[in-house]
Chain A
Amino acid sequence: MRSTVIFTASALSLLLIGCLSNPLYLRLSSNYFPIAPSGATWEYSIQGGGSRIITVVDQSIVGERPCWRLQSGADYSYWINEEGKLEHYEDHTVMFNGYEVPIYQAWLTMFQWPLANGMTTRDSISAQAVSQGVTLSHIWIRDQIVSGPEQSPDGLWSECYRVHQEETVINWVQTAGFSPETTLSVRDIWLAPDVGMVAVQSADSLLTLISFTGGGE
């Protein structure tokens, strides 16, 4: 009788433990924002019509660092995914009195790995430049919180992390008649293992991945 009770309790315990399993090692092993190799292509549909294609073009050197160059339409962006973080090269300029004024060029951390539910990060930049005797100041603050794992909004991708981003930008032309202009933008990004961005939702748009090609060296 006693051994039966022990056996039954052990079997139930094992079944219960089995229910608590989740693909944690899969998530740890996966690349949630692959930016290589050349040829990798993501095609997104835009809610309301249209599409957007992002392609890994080649390797390049920007800011004295080797990186991957991605193309979307006529625009290029530069990315590094190493040493536990994904970095994006930002070349920020503003138009002032008909001139393009460079404010800053820097590698900014986009995500830190590994992602985990409840992870929070804050990144910020404060920069200024002088053009035609006027100081142009720029403050950028981004707060991120990660949730998941969960399915993508279209239900096609599992074990996704959802990154909620809130960006605050304060631009100020420091001369008479101008006051600081503050803009706040909010978006959610779903990242799927070994695929990357599968959906991006902001106040006025929704991008959904419709095809992904891994590419080849």
Chain B
Amino acid sequence: MNKGIILILAVTAVLHAGTINVGFDAAGITPVGGWGENLSSGLSGGLYAQWLLSQKLRAGLGIQGALFNDAYNGNASFTQLKPMATVSFYLRPHGRTFNPGIVAGFGYCRSRLSSGGGIDPASWDPFWSAGVRWDFSLGSQWRAGMGFDLESVMASDKTGDAFKFVFGVSREVQL
């Protein structure tokens, strides 16, 4: 319920802001814990839009997807789809080469397993992620950032934790 309120507050706040930061990122994602024993490291990608609540603080919405394949020679695959609210805080928002920041996301994750032609019932579970970024300018209002995230799907009885190396590109857009 709290995440829903955060989502609504974030949407309300950003509708009154004039500048948004849109971007996408790609990541290598590694399961942490037994849930990934039969799965390989995966690939993750996401799109997001963040409104600049202040020079340093941003909030917005995003969606991420991740795909894991079979760790061996089987044909299992595991997918995650994560609609989420995001918040980030950067120390030097206009720094050309060094703008450290922290990012966090809260939302829900849809997880789906297929194996040997079968598909398990998909599960929707609360999800959070947190990480650090090194953001830098690419010129012409484009910026890039790299860093890592820890994330956790808070599923029934067992969490699905993962570690991500992230690289992303973003651009500020005046509304």
Chain A residues with a Cβ under 8 A of chain B: 3, 6-7, 10-11, 13-14, 17-18, 20-30, 83-85, 112-121, 146, 149
Contact B116 A112 (CB under 8 A): yes
Partner pick for B156 among A3, A22, A28, A83, CB 8 A cutoff: A22
Contact A26 B155 (CB under 8 A): yes
Contact B118 A120 (CB under 8 A): yes
Partner pick for B155 among A6, A23, A118, CB 8 A cutoff: A23
By a CB distance below 8 angstroms, the chain A residues around B37 are 28-29
Indicate whether A10 sits within 8 Å of B4 (C-beta atoms), given known contacts A25-B153, A29-B34, A119-B118.
Answer: yes
By a CB distance below 8 angstroms, the chain B residues around A20 are 122-124
Indicate whether A14 sits within 8 Å of B117 (C-beta atoms), given known contacts A20-B123, A24-B155, A25-B159.
Answer: no
- Complexed CA–CA distance, A6 and B10 (Å): 13
- Complexed CA–CA distance, A113 and B42 (Å): 18
Q: How far is the CB of B116 from chain A (nearest CB, A)?
A: 4
Contact A28 B4 (CB under 8 A): no
Q: How far is the CB of B117 from chain A (nearest CB, A)?
A: 5
By a CB distance below 8 angstroms, the chain A residues around B73 are 84
- Complexed CA–CA distance, A213 and B33 (Å): 24
Contact A116 B115 (CB under 8 A): yes
Q: Is B146 in contact with chain A by the CB < 8 A criterion?
A: no
Partner pick for A23 among B8, B72, B76, B158, CB 8 A cutoff: B158
Centre residue among A10, A29, A120, A121 by max chain B CB count within 10 A: A29
Contact A84 B72 (CB under 8 A): yes
Contact B117 A23 (CB under 8 A): no
By a CB distance below 8 angstroms, the chain B residues around A119 are 115-118
Chain B residues with a Cβ under 8 A of chain A: 1, 3-5, 7-8, 12, 33-39, 70-74, 76, 78, 108, 111, 113-125, 153, 155-160
By a CB distance below 8 angstroms, the chain A residues around B8 are 3, 6-7, 10
- Complexed CA–CA distance, A10 and B7 (Å): 9
- List 21 A-B pairs, Cβ < 8 Å: A3-B8, A6-B8, A10-B7, A11-B1, A14-B1, A17-B124, A21-B156, A22-B156, A24-B122, A26-B156, A28-B35, A29-B37, A29-B158, A84-B72, A84-B74, A84-B76, A113-B38, A115-B115, A117-B121, A118-B119, A119-B117
Contact A25 B120 (CB under 8 A): no
- Complexed CA–CA distance, A1 and B107 (Å): 25
8 pairs of A and B residues whose beta carbons are closest in the complex: A118-B118, A119-B118, A119-B116, A84-B72, A29-B34, A116-B118, A116-B115, A26-B158
Q: How far is the CB of A29 from chain B (nearest CB, A)?
A: 4
Centre residue among B3, B12, B158 by max chain A CB count within 10 A: B158
By a CB distance below 8 angstroms, the chain A residues around B121 are 22, 24, 117, 149
- Complexed CA–CA distance, A25 and B70 (Å): 15
Contact B115 A114 (CB under 8 A): yes
- Complexed CA–CA distance, A116 and B39 (Å): 14
- Complexed CA–CA distance, A29 and B72 (Å): 16
- Nearest A residue to B3 via CB reads A14
Partner pick for B113 among A10, A114, A121, CB 8 A cutoff: A114
Contact B1 A116 (CB under 8 A): no
By a CB distance below 8 angstroms, the chain B residues around A11 are 1, 4
